[in-house]
Structure 1
Amino acid sequence: MHSTAILFDGAFFLARYRKVWGERDASDARTVAKTVFGMALEHLKTLDRPRDALYRIYFYDCPPLEKSFTKPVSGDSIDFGRTGAASFRRELHDQLRRQRKLALRLGRLAERGEWQLRRHSYQLLNEGQLNWDELGDEHFEPDMHQTQVDMEIGIDIATLAYKKLVDQIVLVAGDADFIPAAKLARHEGIDFILDPMWQGIAPDLHEHIDGLQSVCPRPF
């Protein structure tokens, strides 16, 4: 029997979610979790596979930041564990755990306790629309990045391929970090499909996948 595993890079999915489904409430964790499951079923439908061909859905993310920081300009304290973003992430992970055939994989959120200028703020400075003496707390964000997530994705792809658990993998992602894992899977005979949710990809990525397929609505 044919079997398909569908893997979601959580950070990428959530960033695209706001652009693809702009009319939906991106802070409604239950709706976002149902969208993940709905996308997986849509992939099976598009690939002409029955619902019971779904081996498992994997969603990769990190727990929210739970520390307090001193804001860079005002000097006020902010507890990131009490922010709306942290509450949403916790609720989303809880909702995902409740979904049928869904495995939640959590990495780590590494932070250095420092602040960095937001990309948009840097653009405004560069274009002369903002002066350095006009910078406020809102123009900065904590300097942090995900760790272990790419490793988790790679390990799961290798396991699925080597143990012949599936014959098809769909990866919802947008960067090239998956290439080594994709090569391994294809070498093992896996049909490897990339879903970038209509985001453009580098032309040379096509040689490392067996198909490109976005099933979400195309953003304008």
Structure 2
Amino acid sequence: MKVAILVDGGFYRRRALLLFGEKKAEDRAKELVEYAMRHLRQDKKDIQEELSLYRIFYYDCPPMNKKLYHPLLKKQIDYGKSELYTWMTIFLDALKEKRKVALRMGNLSEEQAEYGLRYDVLKKLCNGTISVERLTEEDFGLSVAQKGVDMKIGLDIASMAYKNQVDRIILISGDSDFVPAAKLARREGIDFILDPMWANIKPNLFEHIDGLTSRVAKPPNNEKDSLFSLTK
């Protein structure tokens, strides 16, 4: 049984930070591959069948490399010289060196990037709980959209299904945008497994997948991020 593992990069990095803590870029890249391989090792035990890795596909965008004006600090922030830019560059380079790992890169809408108040802070500001003078840098978040990532995931799923390149697809993601591609893959006879890494997913997604599992221990006392593991 040939297995392809697809990783929504932005989603994985957020969940990995919550579940595994902060790590150096090289260590996070190594961790990602090891996490993906857990599926093959555990599934081999569960179904008593020989599994082979077709490829690990990693979908993400290069880090932002532009200057952006911060409304509170009243100065330009150079993201090309930020710690995040350096970390992401090393992380992506480390993944490129991994065997059977293919990167599928989209783009960031840098021209539309902007700072905005976090929703909870905006509510406090509007109801008078806090004043403008009490705002801090942490109250602002950077909003920048990805382009092309979801499309590449869908195209790769469709391509592998139509060409009969794999028998099973494992998608590490929590996004519902994959549903049309998942339905297509299942119609072509592909076993489609979703790994949301214990993140909440919409209940109606269950009808469009063949299995749901997370290959990491459930976060303790965190009902907001909890989700039971099952195989349909």
TM-score of the aligned structures, taking structure 2 as reference length: 0.87
CA RMSD of aligned residues (A): 1.7
For the pair 1:180 / 2:180, whether they are aligned, the reply is yes
* Alpha-carbon contact 1:72-1:137 (below 8 Å) kept: no
Residue 127 to residue 16, structure 1, CA distance change in 2 (3 Å):
farther
**Distance of 1:17 and 1:31 partners within structure 2:** 12
Residue 192 to residue 126, structure 1, CA distance change in 2 (3 Å):
farther
Give SS of 1:189's match. coil
- 97-106 vs 113-122, greater mean Cα deviation: 113-122
| Correspondence list, 1:77-156, <5 A | 77-111=76-110, 112-122=112-122, 124-125=124-125, 129-156=129-156
* Alpha-carbon contact 1:44-1:50 (below 8 Å) kept: no
| Correspondence list, 1:46-85, <5 A | 46-48=42-44, 50=50, 53-85=52-84
From 24, 33, 37, the equivalent of 1:37 is 33
Deviation at 1:141, TM superposition (A): 2.8
Provide, for residues 101-160 of structure 1, a one-character-per-residue CA deviation record: whole Å limited to 9, x for no partner. 000111011131432112453355467653233224432233311110000100100111
**Distance of 1:197 and 1:127 partners within structure 2:** 36
**Distance of 1:95 and 1:113 partners within structure 2:** 27
* Letter matched to residue 30 of structure 1: E
Give SS of 1:105's match. strand
* Letter matched to residue 161 of structure 1: A
Provide, for residues 53-92 of structure 1, a one-character-per-residue CA deviation record: whole Å limited to 9, x for no partner. 0000001000111001121123112101111111111111
TM-score of the aligned structures, taking structure 1 as reference length: 0.91
The percent of aligned pairs where both chains have the same amino acid is 44
Residue 124 to residue 102, structure 1, CA distance change in 2 (3 Å):
farther
Residue 12 to residue 124, structure 1, CA distance change in 2 (3 Å):
farther
Provide, for residues 153-179 of structure 1, a one-character-per-residue CA deviation record: whole Å limited to 9, x for no partner. 001001110100001000000020100
* Alpha-carbon contact 1:118-1:139 (below 8 Å) kept: yes
Structure 1 runs of 4+ with >6 Å offset? none
For the pair 1:202 / 2:194, whether they are aligned, the reply is no
Task: Tell me the equivalent position of 2:14.
Answer: 15
**Distance of 1:161 and 1:41 partners within structure 2:** 21
* Alpha-carbon contact 2:115-2:143 (below 8 Å) kept: yes
* Letter matched to residue 106 of structure 2: G
* Alpha-carbon contact 2:8-2:60 (below 8 Å) kept: yes
* Higher relative contact order (Cα pairs below 8 Å, separated by 6+ residues): 1
* Alpha-carbon contact 2:113-2:145 (below 8 Å) kept: no
- 210-219 vs 176-185, greater mean Cα deviation: 210-219
**Distance of 1:216 and 1:123 partners within structure 2:** 35
Residue 199 to residue 126, structure 1, CA distance change in 2 (3 Å):
farther
Deviation at 1:41, TM superposition (A): 1.2
Give SS of 2:109's match. strand
List alignment gaps of at least 5 residues for structure 1: none
Give SS of 1:177's match. helix
**Distance of 1:126 and 1:174 partners within structure 2:** 31
